[in-house]
Structure 1
Amino acid sequence: MKFHFISSKTSEALEAKRRYVESYSQNDPETSDIIIPIGGDGILLKSLHDFNNLNKPFYGINYGSIGFLMNQSSNKNLEALIENSNSTDLKPLKMIAEDDKKITYESIAYNEVSLMRQSHQASKFQIKINDVIRLNELICDGVLVSTSAGSTAYNLSAHGSILPLDSKLLALTPISAFRPRRWRGALLSEKSVIKIDVLNFEERKTSVTADNIEFRNIKKVLIKSSQDKNCKILFDKDHSIEDKILNEQFEY
């Protein structure tokens, strides 16, 4: 079994990578069987963006703070752990954004796409679902669309709903909504096409971020499920992501 190890920049993750490379050797991403991110969820998400086109499975090892999408570090044989692991398919979001100069940007997001104000002024959004206006004006710090896998991350911090992996839903969640103050967001079919227009975009500058990829001075954003960027993440059989998502709902 051939591995490609990649780590975050923390001393713990770098030292762990050194030990793994010493024990199992390092291979190029293209010739490896499995990509092994070492660190926290951030390095896993970066690896998904960097290596998704190789169609390799990912087995993350946690040397970060939370590591929700990672496996716990272990002294057990890595090949044995992977052979006994369970595979989970993650379906990302596809984002198409246009800025105030009519430049178009595209990206994918495995956790969420979030729009945020860039200044002291709140952002104003109009939200359409499948070309029907559902919210004519939302005044807030921001708004996000989350996948089920990402629903326990930023979405949960913004008081959004936690989604089981097999729910086939997306979470649309406001961030510090001012008007309508009591709007808590919506749960949408993963087949939905979400269009968010930034109102008064010349004055109320807004950025959009797909996982860790940011674009600024955005005018409008289209978000939908991607049809061709799925990836496989491996989890130890005793610590499935389904169990992690379930446990998260009882650990307030």
Structure 2
Amino acid sequence: MTLARALLASPTPAAREAEAELRRTHDFVAPEDADMIIALGGDGFMLQTLHAMLERRRIVPVYGMNRGTVGFLMNNWSADDLDARLSRARTLSVSPLVMDAVTIEGERVTLPAINEVSLLRETRQTAWIEVSVSGRVVLDELVCDGVLVATPAGSTAYNLSAHGPILPLGSSLQALTPISPFRPRRWRGAILADSARIGFRVLDPVKRPVSAVADQREVRDVASVEVAIDRATALKLMFDPEHALDDRITMEQFIS
């Protein structure tokens, strides 16, 4: 039985042209009626598509084709043999992070993050942040431009550019990575089990304000943030066998 498919495209000319080509030869349904989604765009559009499913609370597999720039989360673009490619595709499950932030005004904001949650200084003043893991303070004072928590799927994104470790998919790990740390000078971060709950307390939130960003959604002037893997939620990404995400993540460790 053929699954009901929805087709979504980013607003770029390349994605719109690809969308028109596929619609000439295939039938698609509305996203809310679909058993799977085909997404045309780049990594940013894939994240947007996944976040939209989380908001609707209806999760179906997503098969992306790259009509963007990097396309790390996407398959190669081709309008040919779509049915055969979908039948051969491997499905990988990715659990998102949940960020629970409290602002200095007492507002509480909870957001999901598929790649990472990052805390970033808002001004020229460095951030002073206390770091805890599962309720235990592990750093009394991290002086830095910021700090982030990344999933295995997101470990090759902002985390990698901040010199964090690449985590294999299925490793049940998360990366805790400082961004331009000043004190402690030699602390490079940590690799933690995905069961760990990571807490951040901003030590001087008025003089040294900090924002918290869950993927692309920002909460400004935070006083504290807690981050944990949402193991009850599984996003499903589909990949061609020759372009599986776990293989790509592995090979990133050998790129100079």
Per the normalisation by structure 2, the TM-score is 0.96
Q: Report the 3-state secondary structure (helix = DSSP H, G, I; strand = E; otherwise coil) of the residue aligned with 1:238.
A: helix
Which residue does 1:207 correspond to in 2? 211
Tell me whether 1:107 sits opposite 2:111 in the alignment: yes
Identity percentage over the alignment?
A: 42
Q: Report the 3-state secondary structure (helix = DSSP H, G, I; strand = E; otherwise coil) of the residue aligned with 1:12.
A: helix
Which residue does 1:60 correspond to in 2? 64
* Equivalent residue for 1:171, pick from 171, 175, 178: 175
Q: Report the 3-state secondary structure (helix = DSSP H, G, I; strand = E; otherwise coil) of the residue aligned with 2:211.
A: strand
> Which string of whole-angstrom CA distances, capped at 9 and with x for unpartnered residues, describes residues 155-205 of structure 1?
000000000112111000000111112110000010001110011001111
Tell me whether 1:14 sits opposite 2:28 in the alignment: no
Alignment of 1:19-58 (within 5 A): 19-52=21-54, 53-58=57-62
1:25 Cα deviation (Å)? 3.0
Q: Report the 3-state secondary structure (helix = DSSP H, G, I; strand = E; otherwise coil) of the residue aligned with 1:66.
A: coil
- Following TM superposition, the consecutive aligned residue runs of length 4 or more in structure 1 with deviations greater than 4 angstroms are none
Corresponding letter in the other structure for 1:130: S
Alignment of 1:63-212 (within 5 A): 63-212=67-216
Corresponding letter in the other structure for 1:230: A
Tell me if the contact between 2:21 and 2:79 (Cα under 8 Å) persists in the aligned partners: no
CA distance in 2 between counterparts of 1:57 and 1:69 reads: 13
CA distance in 1 between counterparts of 2:79 and 2:197 reads: 45
Tell me whether 1:224 sits opposite 2:228 in the alignment: yes
Tell me if the contact between 1:29 and 1:51 (Cα under 8 Å) persists in the aligned partners: no
RMSD of aligned residue pairs (Cα, Å) = 1.1
Stretches of structure 2 lacking an aligned partner (at least 5 in a row): none
CA distance in 1 between counterparts of 2:17 and 2:58 reads: 26
1:45 Cα deviation (Å)? 0.6
CA distance in 2 between counterparts of 1:113 and 1:186 reads: 15
Total equivalences in the alignment: 252
Per the normalisation by structure 1, the TM-score is 0.97
CA distance in 1 between counterparts of 2:129 and 2:211 reads: 12
Corresponding letter in the other structure for 2:32: E
Deviates more, 1:100-109 or 1:5-14: 5-14
Tell me if the contact between 2:22 and 2:79 (Cα under 8 Å) persists in the aligned partners: no
Tell me if the contact between 1:3 and 1:24 (Cα under 8 Å) persists in the aligned partners: no
